[in-house]
Every structure is written in structure tokens, then in C-alpha cells.
Chains A and B, each alone.
Chain A
Amino acid sequence: DGGITQSPKYLFRKEGQNVTLSCEQNLNHDAMYWYRQDPGQGLRLIYYSHIVNDFQKGDIAEGYSVSREKKESFPLTVTSAQKNPTAFYLCASSVTGRGNTEAFFGQGTRLTVV
């Protein structure tokens, strides 16, 4: 089945720890995105990548880092510098970064700081 897979579904982190969220797609999409969603709110863009080995900051990149070493993978690291990391994280991909096609979303990772 083609699709976009996020893992794990639930993640718990101690304060001060870095944690990495996985996002893999087998849709052969060039563009990938990470969004953060807080309860009762919309999606905010963290980072995006339109091509392998290149990525750009979104609206709320502080405290996060990404890499795009392979076309199918776009992991997000939530660092200890992110002061309020508890949220629902969504990864998406689209055919191109030109934005003229829909984005497909994973099922999300719920991160909780304990």
C-alpha cells in the first residue's frame, strides 16, 4: 500500500531530552512537511523540504531540527530547546513543492513531556 507513515503514534519524553519523530513515504513525493497541532487549534508549519538534502524553516522552527537525506524520509527532532513540545505532530508529503497538488498526511504522533 502506498502511503505516509509516522511512528510512533504516542511518544513520551522527559524534560531536557531530545526525541526524534519518524516520517516515511513510499509515494515517490518530492516535498515533505512537518506541522504541529495544539488542542483545538489549526496546523502550524515547522519545517518543509521540496527536494532531498534541502529544507526550509516554517513558521515555528525554533527548537526543532530536520534532515532529508533520502527522498522517502523526513525525520523531525524535537530538541530540549523547544520549551513547550507537548503537541500532536503531523507529517505530510506532496508530489511537488510547487504546491499545485494536494498534500497527503500521516496519522500523526502525539508527543507528551512528562
Chain B
Amino acid sequence: GESVGLHLPTLSVQEGDNSIINCAYSNSASDYFIWYKQESGKGPQFIIDIRSNMDKRQGQRVTVLLNKTVKHLSLQIAATQPGDSAVYFCAEVPYGNKLVFGAGTILRVKS
């Protein structure tokens, strides 16, 4: 559903710690998932994606985990840095359809 009227949850982590950002998706037919990072005043940037035939994918300092049984997606950021502070969105793609964005999570990194 829409995120109208909702304010984004915030995750605060200490610099150097690992961050885990969670996302619950809605459509069991979704077969492609993307994590985006949005810095203040800018457009979202692609971080990492995963297809439904996988349950884990790793990038540089980031890992995405997919649990199709409970329709849950997570983004793990290793050794979080101040530059990681941003809003993080997950997006799901029901097969053959358009992107559907989650509400987003604010990540604040404390130095």
C-alpha cells in the first residue's frame, strides 16, 4: 500500500558497526528485488539487486538476503561509514510488472 502519512523509520548505528535494514514485501509473485540508496536532495541510486531464484547476493560491503517464505528482504552493510547515512528503499517487481517501492528506512551513522 501507499506510504501516505507515514514517516520513515530510523536506524542509528555506530561508525564501524554492521547495519541491517529490513523490508517486508507484499507480492508473492515478485521475482526481482532492488535496494536503492537516496542521499538528501538527490535521486535514488542502485545498490544491489537479487532475483527470486537466489537467497543471498553479495556486493562490496553489502549483502542482500531474500526469504521468500516470509516475504522478507534485508540489506546488510558491513563496517558502516558516515557516507552510508541516507534513506534506503527496497523495491519489488511482480513478474512482468513495474517497480513497487517500500516506504524506506533512514540510516544515521554516529561517529
Contact = CB atoms under 8 A, between A and B. Distances in A.
22 contacts: A33-B98, A41-B7, A41-B103, A42-B3, A42-B6, A43-B89, A43-B101, A43-B104, A48-B98, A88-B41, A97-B98, A99-B93, A99-B99, A102-B46, A102-B49, A103-B91, A104-B46, A105-B44, A107-B43, A108-B42, A108-B43, A110-B41
A6 B93 CA distance: 24
A45 to B, nearest CB: 7
Interface string B31-59: 11010100001111110010000000000
A42 B89 contact: yes
B98 A107 contact: no
A44 interface: yes
Chain B contact residues: over half helix, strand or loop, or mixed? loop
A76 to B, nearest CB: 14
B69 interface: no
Interface of A: 6, 31, 33, 35, 40-45, 48, 59-60, 88, 90, 92, 94, 97-100, 102-108, 110
Given A43-B101, A108-B43, A100 B7 contact: no
Contact of B34 (A35, A41, A90, A102): A102
Chain A contact residues: over half helix, strand or loop, or mixed? strand
Contacts of B93: 99-100
B42 A44 contact: no
Contacts of B31: 100
Nearest to A102: B46
Nearest to A99: B93
Residue from B7, B31, B42 having most chain A Cβ neighbours under 10 A: B42
A62 to B, nearest CB: 13
Nearest to A108: B43
